[in-house]
């Protein structure tokens, strides 16, 4: 009798876990439809607001972002952005070839996957997050399209150490000007902050960031078709 009760208890637990996973997918699927017309916030922004930390974000449409920055962010973060459907399979394979430990893998996440992480998931790397992230990235790309996904990404990613979110807040903090007014050098410097805006500062770049920004600037000039799907 005890074995039967224990078996039922295990089954209930598995059932609850399954329901939780389904909800974790269904809620973002529904929110994606809303985010086609509503300016979303990231999970990190929500957490900072709940915990009383400052959040600075000024939403700007993609047409109000410098084309130089659009090119720089694509060559830096996802050079095949216009070619894949939310997930860059080649990038994922390359990341796994670098290391067999997912937690240490560098790169591999498309801009769309990063948007999914910022909108719906948590920042730390894990197998569970990746399993959820991939189908949601395909869904986001399918429903919202390239321009809207990039617009959302640029407006929710963290771009400063003091709670600056979105490219407009990041540009004003770093250069005292709007995102629309950034030239290629400034745009490339701003993009170097994206992996960690708490340790990288476009306002006071060291030699390493200056070299990296130079790489991004040269690629943005040479790789002329990388942003063709989002620039009018």
Q: Please report, for the chain, the start and end positions of each structural domain, with discontinuous segments joined by +.
A: 2-222
Which 3 state secondary structure label does DSSP give 125? coil
pLDDT computed for residue 3 by the predictor: 53
pLDDT computed for residue 193 by the predictor: 96
Q: Which CATH class is domain 2-222?
A: mainly alpha
In the predicted structure, residue 98 carries a pLDDT above the cut 60: no
Task: Give me the DSSP letters along 167-230.
Answer: HHHHHHHHHSS-GGG--HHHHHHHHTTTT-TTT--TTS--HHHHHHHHHHHHHHHH-TTTTTTT
What would you measure as the largest C-alpha separation in the chain, in angstroms? 74
Percent of the residues in the chain that have a pLDDT greater than 70, as a whole number: 85
**pLDDT tens-digit map of 51-90:** 999 999 999 999 999 999 999 999 999 999 999 999 998 7
Question: What's the pLDDT band for 104 if we cut at 50, 70, 90?
Answer: very low
In 12-45, which positions are buried (b, 16+ CB within 10 angstroms) versus exposed (e)? eeeeeeeeeeeeeeeebeeebeebeeeebbbebb
- Taking the model in full, what pTM does it have? 0.86
More confident residue, 71 or 6: 71
Q: Which two tokens stand for residue 108?
A: 């591999």
């Amino acid at each position: 009798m005890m074995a039967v009760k224990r078996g039922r208890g295990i089954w209930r637990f598995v059932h609850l876990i399954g329901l939780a996973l389904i909800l974790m997918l269904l809620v973002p699927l529904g929110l994606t439809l809303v985010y086609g017309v509503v300016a979303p916030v990231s999970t990190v922004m929500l957490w900072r607001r709940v915990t009383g930390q400052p959040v600075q974000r000024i939403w700007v449409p993609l047409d109000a972002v410098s084309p130089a920055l659009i090119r720089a962010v694509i060559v830096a973060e996802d050079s095949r952005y216009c070619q894949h459907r939310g997930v860059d399979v080649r990038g994922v394979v390359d990341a796994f070839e670098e290391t067999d430990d997912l937690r240490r893998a560098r790169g591999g996440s498309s801009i769309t996957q990063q948007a999914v992480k910022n909108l719906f998931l948590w920042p730390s790397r894990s197998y569970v997050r990746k399993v959820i992230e991939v189908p949601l990235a395909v869904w986001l790309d399918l429903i919202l399209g390239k321009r809207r996904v990039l617009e959302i990404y640029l407006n929710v990613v963290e771009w400063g150490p003091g709670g600056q979110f979105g490219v407009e807040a990041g540009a004003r903090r770093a250069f005292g000007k709007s995102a629309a007014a950034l030239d290629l050098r400034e745009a490339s410097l701003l993009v170097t902050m994206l992996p960690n805006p708490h340790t990288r500062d476009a306002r006071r770049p060291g030699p390493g960031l200056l070299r990296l920004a130079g790489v991004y600037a040269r690629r943005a000039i040479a790789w002329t078709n990388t942003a063709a799907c989002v620039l009018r």
